[in-house]
Amino acid sequence: MALKINSDPKLVIGLKYCGGCNPTYDRVALVKKMEKHLQGKVEFVSPESEDVDLVLAVQGCSTACADLSAFEGLQIRTITNMEDAERFVQEVDERATNYSLEQFL
């Protein structure tokens, strides 16, 4: 699923963590690394915030059991491991590059 491209270059991401009952990686540390890498490209907010472009569900394991029903109708992306996070960061980087290029076309 492609990321929404809007008039604001910064993507507003509602961050939803699972309960952490059986994490296979440090979810908080991973999000901090993502936030540092994507500085200026994203803003992480509560998933209940207004004007959220998408909800990022950071699940600690492949069971991915966090209840996301409150976000029905919103684009939801799920991370269950480091590889998922790397793909997500790459997609956001590409979105930011495409946005910059569109300004010159």
Mean pLDDT of the chain: 88
Dihedral (Cα; 88, 91, 97, 101), 10-degree rounding: -150
Put the strands of the sheet holding 76-79 in their side by side order.
Answer: 42-45, 11-17, 54-58, 76-79
Q: Where in the chain are the domains?
A: 11-102
**pTM of the entire structure?**
0.84
Distance of CA 40 to the CA centre of its chain: 14
For 24-36, how does the pLDDT look when each residue is reduced to its tens digit (9 = 90+)? 999 999 999 999 9
For 47-76, how does the pLDDT look when each residue is reduced to its tens digit (9 = 90+)? 999 899 999 999 999 999 999 999 999 999
CATH number attached to the domain at 11-102: 3.40.50
Q: In residues, how long is the chain?
A: 105
Distance of alpha carbon 86 from alpha carbon 57, whole angstroms: 14
Three-state helix/strand/coil letters over 17-45: ECCCCCCCCCHHHHHHHHHHHCECCEEEE
Instruction: Identify residue 78 by its one-letter amino acid code.
Output: T
